[in-house]
Structure 1
């Protein structure tokens, strides 16, 4: 018996000493993969053969060890593509996933990568590294999913690439549910979070740690040395909804929104670098709840205000329920540099409900240089509960705050790390530390992946000349992204709507005068394309029935663009056909109308398809300039419903335009729920008036220097605000109807 034990001992030791005994199992179809999972032992690697794996819903389970995890990887990193309706569920302990790419599809479920097999089998001490999820979005932006859902404890997501999410749902979420472990201790590091365009609703966070239900317990998750590049889904880039988390040494580039300590206590935000480059709504850190520490961060070029300020400290709700706003108490905001930034907002959001001012908090040793030499400080309520000490601000004429903030002349120079610091050594102890090391693009993401080039912009492709009478439908079908179809003088008959699947310009050739004669509709935008029309005429006088000349179909992938420049449109009569209409679930980055004429038609921009109360809206920006509208039902009817405050837009601007003999339902222009409205230097004659409806937040509305002849004065309505209508009405001239 002793001899047998000795032999077994030697065998075990030999096995431990020779990790080469671990197996590499190359699999080339889904059946082989499932079989390999059942056989895998600690140290084994399941290797997916290079190629496309379509409609593959992977379940990867097992129990490895810290020294010998069970691995799932690609035969060649970046050459295993998960497409169509694919996803991955991980359940067990010490599992390692690497080298996979999710692209050209979307998960059939609510998660792309889930750190659990099911509600009972979570992942523990497991890792996803060098994985790519690129544009793997559901086509209806309202259809919600999470790209990476972190359950369990001790898991890590690192050196991965996540970009191009356009539908609802968090890019990466730490899921904390009652009954599951809540002390998560996850690590999220060295990832590249690439561009995420505005969602046009709440639910577009890049990272969320927890939810309000379990927010008063600690997660202890670390988010460090990631890059957030134009991650502008909504106002919360990183939404912290739990306690005890650390968010440090991340680089935030031109990202609209802020890191938000939304729920939970005792979080640390330190040594992060925010570079806004003046992009609207770029922000820094928003503070809510107790015992939050915001220190040693660097903020530069941030243009956001209010909730999206470089630093905002919110007012709370007295005796707040879990999912509202707890009072700020014992916050420490210290050693930060806030440079060339528009706003620092204190007691942000103060109103009849949010009446609990910050208390027991400190704002110390911060360096402040406002944008354009202005004082960035704003107080929206009582700030006596914030103590100021040792701060230095670049001298301004009329500072809001003087106690604890010294006004000085400050000269800045860029250091070797690319950041600005005062040249005067007397300020060495103020502001962000000089040893900050911005994380580089080479340090993050999958080193072998950089993603596809962005789709070509209007006018950047080839120019294709078309003679009068040529088939415009064939030319559109054959065009590539960015191409321009240049039309000669003559008439081009459009018997059926043109299908536009990429960014395309249809324009007149030099000195030509083409006319598009539309039998029913002009075009339908499909597949996330975009259409620019320039210097041509559209004759829709014979178009029958209702509908729109340019229709964006349901299921079109966001984010498209439409532009009319130098276009003359004649419809069959007011109320018969609209100009541009968007189906629910679609979203435009921008719709632009310049130097154009519209006559005898319905609503030129019909943007009321989103009727859900969550705050959805159809486009981020609608811009109208130098255009003329005669006998139209409305210039635009733009709607954003709901009371959620998590969006940037819509933005609406109309300047230098004229409206005559127009209107329907009491308005020739109706803007409802926009966050930014600027209507200036326009003329309205014999028309219904302007109606601007405020629904949420603190919308900015300016109606200035317009002339209203035989047209009612502009009207602003408030749906939520209990005070007098807000907005600036400046220099308008109203001539009463005779």
Structure 2
């Protein structure tokens, strides 16, 4: 008995002295309502798990707060991955240590705060050693396109964002932002890895980056963020896909697929960019890496099929500003650019941006053992200033390079072939220039989540089913209602008198079964209104404004007047537009404020008797770098008796973060265009701030002149092969640069000017 009591006493003593097991006290909570969550959210301890019930949670602002441990985090997860939907005004904030969130989907709404997911509760309550994984944010956009927010904002230190899916950010603001605005968020050692960054449409102004690390204000601070093994597909928001604005970051093993823009070392020193792959596939404005600041290392990257130029080039080394302020361009110094492969990269630009302000050329830098191969035999280098501060050696190219670089680039015919990783390498393995043959090509399927589809960003025209309409406006309206994205509505011969505004909120084609034999009139102030989600293609129609209201400022096609957040496309082919003259200022197409077109194309049409403009794309007049359309194509049309201009396209301001607008106007015939008394600038074509304009082989008879105003960004304007009959020649003005204009005007013919 005495022995038993002693044994029992020893056991009790051992239990008292042993460390308390947190796991024994950990709880798993199954939460079915916001009220249930609020009841337990303030008492979470290490090891606790919260399971959110499957379903749609509307207006749910989640705060996950607590002190977990490395081996026993506090976890918030979906009951089933992908089946917990956060919609409406929902967001997620984390504060504390060792917190983990997984399996959630944000869609059909937008954040009520500055970020959808935020690694902080307040400016003083941050997250550390925490993780957000397998989370989806899909088109979760503020309906005010210019209202800025982040989708994920990382604060604190040692946090991780991984295996998540981000697609369709359309309002202003960086998709993922690493914030360094407090000491607790600096030298943070965050990790951003294995995420899928899907389609981010062209934003049409500054504020469309996909990832930003730091800001200019804290750019001399080190971040130590690792960005590794992420997939960037069609992330087209603006010229900077990734904007690095801090020091000591590593960007490694990422893949950029047909992404317009560049990985830009915008501010901060001592960053490493290595083992990344850029596959442009010949898509316009696909870029690579842009180098600014000190001590940058760019090594063992593979760049192929990139078409970008200027600040969006395949590779760019910038000029700096002497004694630069913290938010301008610091001089490139001690850059190491080694063992990179440039395959079919159109432009490698050195000392780029050289101007009266940016005069500090690169110094003490090395460009070594790089491989440059262009199958079109066009050498890619452009030198904009003194590049003697970049020392070249061991580089190989299959073309001659500028004389200033010849000492360090050997010209050699180099045959290439695909390796096991599907990349191109010299057939001879004795050549050491270029990226390693062991480079890993990241698979899209190895990023993001397995349970959420990675769908194309755009629905193609004519990709769906065909709906045939035999007669009448009611049947037309019913067919449009019943159509799905990508469908085609085919109109039989006849008259269609439409009494309602047709709202287009899907990708739709409306075409005549026989060109010219389906005639539409309309009784509202517009026939078609393109709304969020809508894109419209018209083919072979005859559209008359004869039955329109006797009021000013009617339109055939317009976008919604305000509040549009999604980009759209408009295409019209082989159609006849007439009698837009019931009153003054009757435009064919007018954009609402804030609306943005990826493409507007008019091809093979005839326009007769219009009291307004054909394409009015000039509502963004505040000169903030915002504009209404990325690509405008006007080809092989006939314009007769148009009182306004064929196109008014405006982009004001001096911002350099966008590629457009682009205009192609070719093969058109203009007769008596632009002379209306309400056409204030007295032009047949008015371009302000357009970045690329090709005006080719048009005939203008008794028309107002073409007026072009260059603003910023080294615009490219070509006016060639046109006939100006009783029409004054084009007028091009440089508004922000001294000296003659930079437009190329050649092989045009001007006749009968004395009869004007």
Asked if TM exceeds 0.5, the reply is: yes
* Correspondence for 1:358: 362
* Correspondence for 2:504: 500
Q: Any idea what SS the aligned residue of 2:75 has?
A: strand
Note the 1:238-249 alignment, pairs <5 A. 238-249=242-253
Deviates most, 618-627 or 395-404:
395-404
Please list the CA deviations of residues 258-296 of structure 1 after superposition, one character each: whole Å capped at 9, or x if unmatched.
100000111110111111101111111100011111011
Contact 1:685 1:708 in 2 (8 A): yes
Structure 1 residue 180: deviation in Å? 4.2
d(CA) in 1 for partners of 2:163 and 2:17?
A: 35
Structure 1 residue 614: deviation in Å? 2.4
* Correspondence for 2:536: 531
Deviates most, 438-447 or 568-577:
568-577
* Correspondence for 2:554: 547
Aligned: 1:662 with 2:677: no
With over 3 angstroms needed to count, the CA separation of the structure-2 counterparts of 1:4 and 1:681, relative to structure 1, is farther
d(CA) in 1 for partners of 2:58 and 2:454?
A: 20
Q: Any idea what SS the aligned residue of 2:238 has?
A: coil
d(CA) in 2 for partners of 1:392 and 1:162?
A: 39
Contact 2:199 2:457 in 1 (8 A): no
d(CA) in 1 for partners of 2:622 and 2:68?
A: 47
Note the 1:397-546 alignment, pairs <5 A. 401-427=405-431, 429-452=432-455, 456-471=459-474, 472-510=476-514, 513-520=517-524, 521-543=526-548, 544=550, 545-546=552-553
Please list the CA deviations of residues 40-73 of structure 1 after superposition, one character each: whole Å capped at 9, or x if unmatched.
1101111110010111111111111111110111
With over 3 angstroms needed to count, the CA separation of the structure-2 counterparts of 1:548 and 1:425, relative to structure 1, is same
Aligned: 1:27 with 2:34: no
* Correspondence for 1:564: 572
Structure 1 residue 528: deviation in Å? 2.0
Q: Any idea what SS the aligned residue of 1:505 has?
A: strand
Note the 1:75-474 alignment, pairs <5 A. 75-396=79-400, 401-427=405-431, 429-452=432-455, 456-471=459-474, 472-474=476-478
Deviates most, 323-332 or 495-504:
495-504
Contact 1:496 1:519 in 2 (8 A): yes
* Correspondence for 1:583: 592
Contact 2:501 2:528 in 1 (8 A): yes
Structure 1 residue 478: deviation in Å? 2.4
* Correspondence for 1:604: 614
Structure 1 residue 512: deviation in Å? 6.5
Structure 1 residue 305: deviation in Å? 1.3
Contact 1:282 1:309 in 2 (8 A): yes
Contact 1:314 1:347 in 2 (8 A): yes
Q: Any idea what SS the aligned residue of 2:407 has?
A: coil
Aligned: 1:625 with 2:635: yes
Instruction: Give TM-score, length-normalised by structure 1.
Output: 0.97
Structure 1 residue 613: deviation in Å? 2.7
With over 3 angstroms needed to count, the CA separation of the structure-2 counterparts of 1:4 and 1:585, relative to structure 1, is farther
Q: Any idea what SS the aligned residue of 2:575 has?
A: strand
Deviates most, 231-240 or 394-403:
394-403
Structure 1 residue 396: deviation in Å? 3.5
Contact 2:213 2:244 in 1 (8 A): yes
For residue 615 of structure 1, the aligned residue among 604, 618, 625 is 625
d(CA) in 2 for partners of 1:210 and 1:659?
A: 51
* Correspondence for 2:3: none
d(CA) in 1 for partners of 2:421 and 2:380?
A: 25
d(CA) in 2 for partners of 1:336 and 1:313?
A: 14
Instruction: Give TM-score, length-normalised by structure 2.
Output: 0.94
* Correspondence for 1:717: 733
Instruction: Give unmatched runs, 5+ long, in structure 1.
Output: none
Contact 1:141 1:199 in 2 (8 A): no
* Correspondence for 1:643: 654
* Correspondence for 1:652: 663
Structure 1 residue 650: deviation in Å? 0.9
Contact 1:140 1:586 in 2 (8 A): no
Contact 1:477 1:499 in 2 (8 A): no
d(CA) in 2 for partners of 1:384 and 1:77?
A: 56
d(CA) in 2 for partners of 1:179 and 1:455?
A: 42
With over 3 angstroms needed to count, the CA separation of the structure-2 counterparts of 1:559 and 1:511, relative to structure 1, is closer
With over 3 angstroms needed to count, the CA separation of the structure-2 counterparts of 1:513 and 1:270, relative to structure 1, is same
With over 3 angstroms needed to count, the CA separation of the structure-2 counterparts of 1:174 and 1:734, relative to structure 1, is same
d(CA) in 2 for partners of 1:117 and 1:613?
A: 36
Contact 1:36 1:46 in 2 (8 A): no
Q: Any idea what SS the aligned residue of 2:111 has?
A: coil
* Correspondence for 2:697: 681
* Correspondence for 1:671: 687
d(CA) in 1 for partners of 2:473 and 2:427?
A: 67
Structure 1 residue 555: deviation in Å? 2.0
d(CA) in 1 for partners of 2:458 and 2:691?
A: 28
d(CA) in 1 for partners of 2:255 and 2:585?
A: 52
Contact 1:571 1:577 in 2 (8 A): no
Aligned: 1:69 with 2:73: yes
Contact 1:134 1:451 in 2 (8 A): no
Contact 2:496 2:519 in 1 (8 A): yes
d(CA) in 2 for partners of 1:587 and 1:640?
A: 12
d(CA) in 1 for partners of 2:363 and 2:605?
A: 55
Contact 1:341 1:370 in 2 (8 A): yes
d(CA) in 2 for partners of 1:614 and 1:397?
A: 39
Taking only aligned residues, the RMSD between alpha carbons, in angstroms, comes to 1.9
d(CA) in 2 for partners of 1:61 and 1:720?
A: 52
d(CA) in 1 for partners of 2:280 and 2:183?
A: 40
Structure 1 residue 630: deviation in Å? 1.3
Contact 2:198 2:457 in 1 (8 A): no
With over 3 angstroms needed to count, the CA separation of the structure-2 counterparts of 1:149 and 1:441, relative to structure 1, is same
Q: Any idea what SS the aligned residue of 2:495 has?
A: strand
With over 3 angstroms needed to count, the CA separation of the structure-2 counterparts of 1:180 and 1:21, relative to structure 1, is closer
Report the number of matched residues: 735
d(CA) in 2 for partners of 1:335 and 1:204?
A: 31
Contact 1:477 1:500 in 2 (8 A): no
With over 3 angstroms needed to count, the CA separation of the structure-2 counterparts of 1:732 and 1:67, relative to structure 1, is same
Structure 1 residue 177: deviation in Å? 0.9
Contact 2:137 2:151 in 1 (8 A): yes
Structure 1 residue 244: deviation in Å? 0.5
d(CA) in 2 for partners of 1:294 and 1:189?
A: 19
With over 3 angstroms needed to count, the CA separation of the structure-2 counterparts of 1:407 and 1:508, relative to structure 1, is same
Q: Any idea what SS the aligned residue of 1:403 has?
A: helix
d(CA) in 1 for partners of 2:292 and 2:214?
A: 15
With over 3 angstroms needed to count, the CA separation of the structure-2 counterparts of 1:372 and 1:69, relative to structure 1, is same
Contact 1:173 1:207 in 2 (8 A): yes
